[in-house]
Amino acid sequence: MSISMYQASVPTLIQALKALSGVLDKGAKHAEAKGIDPAVLLGSRLYPDMFPLTRQVQIASDNAKGPSARLAGMEPPKFDDNEASFADLQARITKTIDFLQTLKPAQIDGSEDRQIVLQMRAGPLEFKGQAYLLHFAMPNFYFHCATVYAILRHNGVEVGKKDFLGG
């Protein structure tokens, strides 16, 4: 039995975004319980040349909505990158999930050979749909989700693998 492009993307992304939301919720509660200014956690990074937590969440959101839209033959929705609180990041995740839930299997299934072209600073990257999803989009998405988890864990938030994996 094969798995469809829709099954490999939208439900998986929604589950991971819900898990990311749970991890962020634990981060917010940790800050409150420990009397830590939430801005400290939101601005934390694993290394000086890496993006802070807030940007990691924004990029995870972009790597959920963007690839799904492209595979559906749509222009990805644009979100302003202006989140400044845990509540703002939660709202962004909710907007991302809401968008993903508008996509239907018929829009994405059959996109294995769809030409996907990303305009990057270094020049265009070209993919076929399945390679784009499995070898570029999903690894990028999970990288940023894992980095959010790692930043919070590094800062003492009690999260574990079960939190990362979600329900």
Contact 119, 110 (CB under 8 A): no
| Average pLDDT of the chain to the nearest whole number | 96
Residue 34: CATH number of its domain: 1.20.120.450
Instruction: Say if residue 2's pLDDT is above 90.
Output: no
Q: Is 50 helix (H, G, I), strand (E, B) or coil?
A: coil
Q: Which domain holds residue 118?
A: 5-165
DSSP 84-140: -SHHHHHHHHHHHHHHHTT--HHHHTT-TT-EEEEEETTEEEEEEHHHHIIIIIHHH
Dihedral pair phi/psi, residue 101, rounded to 5°: -70, -15
pLDDT digits (tens, 9 = 90+) for 83-117: 999 999 999 999 999 999 999 999 999 999 999 99
- What pTM does this model have? 0.95
What pLDDT, on the 0 to 100 scale, is given for residue 140? 97
What pLDDT, on the 0 to 100 scale, is given for residue 1? 60
Domains of the chain: total: 1
Say what the alpha-carbon torsion angle 33, 149, 55, 34 is, to the nearest 10 degrees. Answer: 10
Distances in Å between the Cα of 154 and the Cα atoms of 71, 112, 147 are 35, 38, 10
